[in-house]
Amino acid sequence: MKRSMLAKLAAAVTAAATLAVLSGCSGGGASSGDVLTIGMPNGPQSNNSNPFAPTSSAVVLGYRGMMYEPLAQINPTLPDRDPVPWLAKEWKWSDDYKSVEITARDGVKWSDGEKFTADDIAYTFKMLEKYEAFNANALPFDDISVSGDTVKLSFDVPEFVNQTKVINQFIVPEHIWSKIKDPEKDANQKPVGTGPYTLKTWTQQAISFVPNNDYWGGKPKVPEVRWTSYTDNNAMLTALLNGQAQWSYVFIPDIDKTWVAKSETNKNWQPTGLGIDALFFNTTKAPFDNVAVRKAVNMVVDRKSINTQGYSGFKGLVDNVNGLPSPAGDSFAAPEFKDKKAEIDVDGAKKVLTDAGYTYSGDKLMDPSGNPVTFTLVDPAGWSDYLASLQIISDNVKKIGIDAKVETATVDNWTAAVQNGDFQATLHWTNTGATPWDIYSNIMDGTQLKPIGTTANWNFGRFDSPEATQALAAYANTTDDAERTTAMNTLQKIFVEQVPAIPVAAGPMGAEYSTKHFTGWPDEKDPYAVSQPTQPSISQVLMKLEPVKK
């Protein structure tokens, strides 16, 4: 990264910390345990609480989980731990994982007083089947039926790798959504859910929630929860430091010094699992429609600098060539890639390019048609860790004669552009799963392949490899461990040789929070749930929190 950018970033963080000290606790935070404020650095939002829409404020900020609850709570950072029954009392998978029977919990009401039933579960999954954009995990439904308080979901193929995704699905009320004319576009400004909180008011300054007094899990002990969307990471840090917000998931450079050391009640817990941040390439557009360019860029990206400077050590380094984070992914590594690290090789990268027909005009790389090779890197404005990392990558590729510029967009515009394939390269995360299947599926799965201009839930780079798709299906469908290992090894070989994306960091699923006014947070001593407020487990965490006794 350029020294000037590093200096600006450091100065901004210092300024944020100084401002917080001068401001004291003048913000609208929970000064006496009456209000818990959750903040995210996602800029201006629109009044949209559609739980299915990826650009709605409910999804972008994460407050969806306060109202719409899953069938079961899972902890992706502890994939071996059994899910916690939530709206489902129990569930049972068939031996071949092609069907599951889900029994609805008794005594649950929707926030408008209507009874929650198995029909609501069935209707939610029928919506996933009907609206492709809602079916983020591309579940191949065969049949959905109800018998009493039990729903049976049948699938065309085994859902071994998706079993936790099925039971972690949030549920919506049939009596509300069956009357909505266009569920894909409806803003759902009067949401009805089963969760512990209901929406009170929605403004750009604060989105306020109050307890659902009829909540099946008992009355929440936090009197009010407010969500605020701050302009960027530094504004979010300032709000945390001066007490305006008490809970967030935000990149903080030198977090131990900048946040944790400022108060004994300032906490940071960032457990990781089998999920990564990666530079996604649009493989349908030049220059990344040529594997030689993808390989060459991969050979010059300085992952260590991204880790120490871009992320300031906030996320774990991923330098295994197969893209798997250590130690979570070590047991899955193919023998040929075990302990094999990505190394910077500028000369080797240039040879890959010239062998593929690229030439140099002075120090500028020219494609086989004689045009300069350039590309644009994009991520949301205010996401300082991603943008700093993109700047490092931009500097790295200059060494092989490529001019890459860094651009920003609003979160909504970026999300839409990435899903529609309107980008060249972007830093994005993958899902975190119980196995590396999610990582490779999110990047390479042909079942997620969509034409440019239409919404893709994953495989944003439109990587088209029938071999990868077949291996992903084989891993998911087989009941034989040896066959599953063979499929995983194949996926790693394709990933290494075809470079559909460049892994750069292990994605934590944690949070920064304050224990000054509320206790009961999950932490390393009691990891009962994921602490990140954007996850479905927010309802699980909120029901554990209680005001500190004065």
Domain count within the chain? 3
- From 156, 185, 214, give the residue that closes a domain: 185
Burial class (CB in 10 A: 0-12, 13-18, 19+), 107: exposed
Is 340 found in the same domain as 254?
no
Burial class (CB in 10 A: 0-12, 13-18, 19+), 392: buried
Of 366, 385, 397, which is closest to residue 295 (Cα–Cα)?
A: 397
How far apart CA 288 and CA 421 sit, in angstroms, is: 13
DSSP for residue 512 = E
Is 101 found in the same domain as 154?
yes
DSSP letters for 326-346: TTTTGGG--GGGTTPBP---H
Q: Which helix (H) or strand (E) holds 411?
A: helix 411-420
Is 492 found in the same domain as 352?
yes
- Residue 131 is part of a domain; what is its CATH number? 3.90.76.10
Domain with 156 in it: 68-185
pLDDT of residue 28: 39
How far apart CA 274 and CA 279 sit, in angstroms, is: 17
Assign 3-class secondary structure to 12-71: HHHHHHHHHHHHCCCCCCCCCCCCEEEEECCCCCCCCCCCCCCCCHHHHHCCHHHHCCEC
Is 538 found in the same domain as 423?
no
Is 494 found in the same domain as 529?
no
Residue 461 inside a domain? The answer is: yes
Token digits for 167?
């039971």
Alpha helices in 227-378, H assignment, sequence order: 233-241, 255-258, 291-300, 303-305, 346-355
Residue 39 inside a domain? The answer is: no
Contacts of 418 (CB under 8 A, 6+ apart): 280, 426, 428, 460
Q: Which helix (H) or strand (E) holds 518?
A: strand 518-519
Q: pTM (2 decimals)?
A: 0.76
Q: Per-block average pLDDT, block size 10, for the chain (550 residues)?
A: 33 40 36 85 94 94 97 88 96 95 98 98 98 91 98 94 94 98 97 98 96 96 96 94 96 92 96 93 98 98 96 91 91 95 98 98 97 98 94 98 98 96 98 92 96 96 98 92 96 98 92 97 94 96 94
DSSP letters for 163-218: HHHHHT-B---HHHHTT-S-TTT---SS---SSSEEEEEE-SS-EEEEE-TT-TT-
Is 114 found in the same domain as 172?
yes
The partner residues of 207 in beta bridges, in order of sequence, read: 202, 227
Phi-psi region of 17 (alpha: psi -120 to 50; beta: other; left: phi over 0): alpha
Residue 63 inside a domain? The answer is: no
pLDDT of residue 23: 35
Q: Around 143, how many Cα atoms within 13 Å sit in the side-chain half-sphere?
A: 7
- Residue 475 is part of a domain; what is its CATH number? 3.10.105.10
pLDDT of residue 314: 86
Q: Which helix (H) or strand (E) holds 375?
A: strand 374-380
Is 217 found in the same domain as 326?
no
Is 350 found in the same domain as 458?
yes
Is 155 found in the same domain as 181?
yes
